[in-house]
Amino acid sequence: MVVALRAASVIAFVLLWEWAARVPISFNFPSPWATLTALVALLRSGAILSATATSLQSLALGFGIAIAVGVPLGLVMGVVRPVGRVARVYLDLLIALPTAALIPLVILSFGINILSSAVIVFVFSVPFVTMNAYGGVRDVRPRLLEMAHAFDASRWQVFVRIVLPSALPMILAGIRYALSRAFVGLIVAELLLSPFGLGRLIMASRSMFEHDRMFATVLWTLLLAGVALAALARLEGRLLRWRT
């Protein structure tokens, strides 16, 4: 049922796209077939693969640090309430921040390199990782804490045995959401600042009016994000098997 629905939605999307390409909405709007051909050509030439490798480095660096910083920060915010109350204001502001506007500043500070786009990826994704870890800790059932106290559990035991597993579903959901934000951040960064990566490929194709190549690169980015998100969702399902 779900599989059939999924297939139908993909077909409907492609048909809509094909239709849009035939109606002269815009000059040089590529059809699905043209896009696919361009994608195959980009894969053959290896151009898209080297761009992907460069982009994924920024992504892995920025997103990895976002998790390494965001999860512990969110946990501390949840456990030490005053810290949480102060820090959440900054996180709310960080979410509302027009991050793209800051990119020139980031380039000035870090230079035009992988580090700069990693910083943008980090800024895009870290608030969501942190906020969810924080929310996860705050949602711990008080009764479970009371139960652990009744067994005279130490603070560390309460944290490891009750708080962490209680917060895990929200932490994982935050990581998954932050990953899609990280992809957005990556492309924005590369579009605006960089002479490398998938963003550059998109820019280069656009400036040459090679819209099929541009669309192919965007499609490829979506595929990458989709695969990464699906892998995370699988991991989540395995870790949270008890939620039947």
Partner 1 sequence: MAPRPVEIVVDGVSKAFGTVQALVDVHVRVRAGEFLSLIGPSGCGKTTLLKTIAGLVAPDSGRVVVGGRTVEGPGRECSVVFQDFALLPWATVQKNAEFGLLLRGVPAAARAERARGMIAKVGLAGFEHAYPAQLSGGMQQRVGLARALAVNPQVLLMDEPFASIDEQTRRVFQDDLLQLWSEERKTVVLVTHSMEEAIYLSDRVVVLSPRPGRVHQVLDVPLPRPREGAGVRATAEFARLVDDLWKVLRKLQ
Applying CB under 8 A, which residues contact partner 1? 141, 143-144, 146-153, 157, 161-162, 165, 168, 240, 242-244
d(CA 80, CA 82): 6
Q: Provide the minimum distance between the beta carbon of 158 and partner 1 in the complex, in angstroms, as a whole number.
A: 9
Residue closer to partner 1 (CB basis): 96 or 143 = 143
Q: Provide the minimum distance between the beta carbon of 143 and partner 1 in the complex, in angstroms, as a whole number.
A: 5
Residue closer to partner 1 (CB basis): 92 or 139 = 139
What is the DSSP track for 69-94? HHHHHHHHHHHSHHHHHHHHHHHHHH
Q: Provide the minimum distance between the beta carbon of 207 and partner 1 in the complex, in angstroms, as a whole number.
A: 52
Residue closer to partner 1 (CB basis): 100 or 144 = 144
Q: Provide the minimum distance between the beta carbon of 141 and partner 1 in the complex, in angstroms, as a whole number.
A: 8
Torsion of CA 3, 5, 6, 10, to 10 degrees: 140
Label residue 196 left, alpha or beta by phi (over 0 means left) and psi (-120 to 50 means alpha).
beta
Residue closer to partner 1 (CB basis): 64 or 165 = 165
d(CA 188, CA 97): 14
